[in-house]
Amino acid sequence: MPSFPRKVLGLLLILAAVGVASWQALAVSCSSPAAAAETTRHAARHAEPRETHP
Amino acid sequence: MIRVFALVATLTAITILILVVRFKLLGTDDHRRSIPEQPNPAKSLLMFLLTLPVLVAAVVAMARGLLMPMIGNAIGYGLLLGGAWLLWRGLVSEAAYARRLIAKTPFPLKAVGGGLIGLGTGLTAWLGVGHHPGIAFAFGLVALLGCRLFYGGDPVAAKRVTAASGLDTTDQVLAALGQAERAIAAVEQSSRDIRQPELNQRLRRVAALAREILTLLEEDPRDLRRARKFLNVYLDGVQRVVEGYARTHQRAASPDLDANFRRVLTSIEEVFQEQRRKLLESDIMDLDVQIEVLTSQLKREGLL
């Protein structure tokens, strides 16, 4: 791939991943306590093994 | 509070955009040169600026008593910062590699930095934002791919040199050139302590001549044997004399000492100019011999 489009694509991907994750993290930290608590619960739920129903 | 953060966020985003467009997409003077002296500052700064909101998020989460987002953001920011630093060091090392004619393969700093950026992004997306681990993994992967495309890969091949006997002399040449460069840097450092414009100017000329000689030696390492005296005797001598003068000059001013030092510097400059002339002459002699051989070969084959 030529250098210029490769770099532009790379820049867009960096902005889409690193930029979005950074600003989302900031938005979640500044959001209402209920939303933040939901995030905490959500992360903890995925961190623990899931319960299996009989 | 949220409005202030929104304002800061908007201003940072605009700054990043201006920096990137100014230095990266439009290009700077560095881009017009074939070999850049230093990496593009916007390219190095981008990742440091882009990850700043994660640091703010970690502080806000701590202030609000949110344990999991705080841990996620803090670890994520640490990884992102480490990755940004490694990427910057990788760019510096790549510029140095491009400048040199003889160089070893540098450590893949950009690859490791990209990996840390991917890891940090994924962790922030998972613990800091609360995304599903699968989505967080995708964030990390996209960040890694973006770094690979935007910053490029690390240099993989060493720029080696072999002697006429066929022996690989890369390490010896690099060690000799490295020692000489350290001596020149020490001379430049000591010259900053000397508060005499005329002597400073003379020292700058000496340092520039020495660097020119090193470039000639790097272009043709066969001359290294001939320039051994210059590397081992003169450069070390210059370093010792300049360091000694800078120390004494700070304590007490002496016109006799100044006159002696000026005389020594004049002799050094002459010796360095002579050394450069010899190296250039040997190149011309080599070229003369090659032309002679080629001419006789063409005559033999009846083409001349």
Residue B33: pLDDT band (50, 70, 90) is very low
What pLDDT, on the 0 to 100 scale, is given for residue B37? 64
Q: Give the tokens for residue A36.
A: 């933040």
DSSP letters spanning B1-35: -HHHHHHHHHHHHHHHHHHIIIIIIS--HHHHSSS
Decide if pLDDT at B163 tops 50. Answer: yes
Which of B148, B39, B35, B150 has the alpha carbon at shortest distance from B89?
A: B39
| Contacts with B175 (C-beta within 8 Å, 6 or more apart), sequence order | none
pLDDT at B16 over 90: no
Dist. CA A36–CA B180, nearest whole Å = 59
Chain B neighbors of A10, CB-CB under 8 A = 145-151
Q: What is the mean pLDDT of residues A16-25?
A: 94
Give the pair of three-digit tokens for residue A19.
Answer: 């930029």
A52 close to B (CB below 8 A) = no
Mean pLDDT for the stretch of residues B128-149: 95
Tokens representing residue B10 in the block: 């908007």
Mean pLDDT in residue range B101-108? 87
Average of per-residue pLDDT across B2-31: 63
Give buried/exposed letters for B242-274 (b at 16+ CB in 10 A, else e).
Answer: bbebbeebeeeeeeeebeebeeebeebeebbee
Task: Check pLDDT > 70 for residue A49.
Answer: no
Question: A34 CA to chain B: closest CA distance, Å?
Answer: 11
- Top pLDDT among A52 and B163 is at B163
A26, B13 Cβ separation under 8 angstroms:
no
Q: Does residue B79 register a pLDDT over 90? A: yes
Start-to-end CA span in chain B (Å): 87
**Cα B167 from Cα B210, distance rounded (Å):** 27
Instruction: Tell me the CA distances in angstroms from A43 to A8, B55, B60, B67, B128, one per residue in order.
Output: 33, 19, 18, 11, 8
B72 — contact with chain A (CB < 8 Å)? yes
Shortest Cα distance from A27 to chain B (angstroms)?
8
- Give the pLDDT confidence score for residue B122 in this predicted structure: 96
Can you give the pLDDT at residue B139?
A: 96
Q: Which of A3-7, B29-33, B95-99, B141-145 has the lowest mean pLDDT?
A: B29-33
Average pLDDT, chain B: 82
B129 within 8 A of A28, measured Cβ to Cβ: yes
- pTM tops 0.90: no
| A22 near B CB under 8 A | yes
**Each residue's pLDDT tens digit, B247-265:** 887 777 778 888 888 888 8
- CA B257, chain centre distance (Å): 37
N- to C-terminal Cα separation, chain A: 53
Look at residue B103 and give its three-state secondary structure.
strand
